Amino acid sequence: MRKAEGKQLIGIIYTSGSLEVAEMISQSGFDWVMIDMEHSVLTLKDVQNSLPVFGKKLLRIVRIPGNDPVWIKRVLDTGCDGIMVPMVNSGEEAEKLVRAAKYPPVGQRSVGITRAHSYGQSFSKYLESANSDLIIMAQIEHRDGVRNIDLILNIKGIDWIFIGPYDMSASMGLAGQVSHPDVRKAIELVKKKCRDSGIPYGIFGASPEALVQEFHDGCKYLLCGIDVFLISTALRDLSGKLKALIKE
C-alpha cells in the first residue's frame, strides 16, 4: 500500500453509495477519495463494495463516524488504504485512535479473516505491514483540537492531520464562516504546527478557488467537492437553463 508521496494530492468526497459514481470518480483524475461514513448513510457494505470500483490507483480513505474502536476495526477490515477520524480534540483522543488502528504490540486492533487480506489468503503479509502501511489521519476541526495541537502531534502513529474548516468555524460560534479572521487564525496555527513537526496536512475547500492559497502554502492533501452536491448542482443548473429557454 502507498503512503503519501511527495506531491500534492487532489481528492473528492464520496457519499452517494452509487457504484457508477465511484467508477466515474475513478476515471476523473483524482488522487484520493474520502469515503464519508460520518455525514452520509453509507453502510460498511457500501464502503467495502466501492473499494474495488475505485481501484488501487486512488488512495481510498474512509472517514469513520466517530473515534470509536469498533468502527475503526470494522472499517480497516474492509481493505481501505486508511482512515480519517473526525474531532480528535486531545492527546488522549489521538492515543485512543492509534491504539484502535494498530495491531499489537503497538495497539489493540483485533485480528479476523476479512477482505483486507483477501479473506485470509495474504493474512501474514497484511499483518506484518498494516501498522506501517495504513494511513491514519486525525481531523483537527474544533477549537479544543487547536488548543491541544502540540499534544496531538506528539502522538506517534498519526500520519496526516486533516483540517475541517466548517466544524472549526462551528466550534467557534461562527458556523459556516470559514473565512472569518478568528477561524483563519486557528487554521493557520494548525498548519504552522504541522509544518514545524513535519506532519503533512490536508484541508477541505468548498471550491477550487477556496483552495488556491492552500495549494501555494504547500498543503499536501487538497479535498474539494462532494459527489451528491456536484450532481444536484448540475441538475439544477440544467433545469434552470431549460426553463429559461421555455420562457424566452
Cβ proximity to ligand 3PY, 76 vs 224, nearer residue: 224
Instruction: Check: CB of residue 157 under 8 Å from CB of residue 102.
Output: yes
Q: Could you tell me the sign of the dihedral formed by the alpha carbons of 172, 178, 180, 186, in that order? A: positive
The answer to whether 227 contacts ligand 3PY (rule: CB under 6 A) is no
Rounded Cα distance, 91 and 150, in Å: 8
Q: Is 36 in the site for Mg ion (CB under 5 A)?
A: no
Lookup: cell for 6: 511527495
| Active centre residues (catalytic) | 39
Q: Does 164 bind ligand 3PY (CB under 6 A)?
A: yes
Q: Which 83-122 positions form the footprint of ligand 3PY (CB under 6 A)?
A: none
Rounded CA gap, 85 and 28, in Å?
A: 26
How far apart, in whole angstroms, are the C-alpha atoms of residue 26 and residue 225? Answer: 14
Question: Taking the CA atoms of the chain, what radius of gyration do you get in angstroms?
Answer: 19
Among positions 79, 165, 200, 225, the unique one binding ligand 3PY when judged by CB under 6 A: 165
Binding mask 203-222 for ligand 3PY (x = CB under 6 A): -x------------------
Smallest separation (angstroms) from Mg ion to the CB of 218: 22
Q: Contact with Mg ion (CB under 5 A): which of 11, 79, 82, 164?
A: 164
Q: Which ranges in the chain belong to alpha helices (H)?
A: 19-26, 44-54, 69-76, 91-101, 123-133, 143-147, 149-153, 165-171, 181-197, 212-216, 227-247
Among 167, 201, 225, 227, binds ligand 3PY (CB under 6 A): 167
Q: Which is nearer to Mg ion, 130 or 187 (CB)?
A: 187
Taking the C-alpha atoms of 142, 144, 146 and 150 in order, what is their torsion angle to the nearest 10 degrees?
-140
| Residue placing its CB nearer to ligand 3PY in the complex, 130 or 226 | 226
User: Which option in ligand 3PY, Mg ion, none does residue 81 bind, with CB closer than 5 to 8 A by kind?
Assistant: none
- Give the binding range for ligand 3PY (CB under 6 A) out of 40-48, 122-130, 159-167, 230-238: 159-167
Whichever of 11 and 79 has its CB closer to ligand 3PY, that residue is 11
* 141 part of the interface to ligand 3PY, by CB under 6 A: yes
The closest of 55, 70, 46, 61 to 4, measured between CA atoms, is 61
Cell of 195: 509544518
- Binding residues for ligand 3PY, rule: CB under 6 A, are 139, 141, 164-167, 204
Applying CB under 5 A, the residues found at the interface with Mg ion are 141, 164, 167
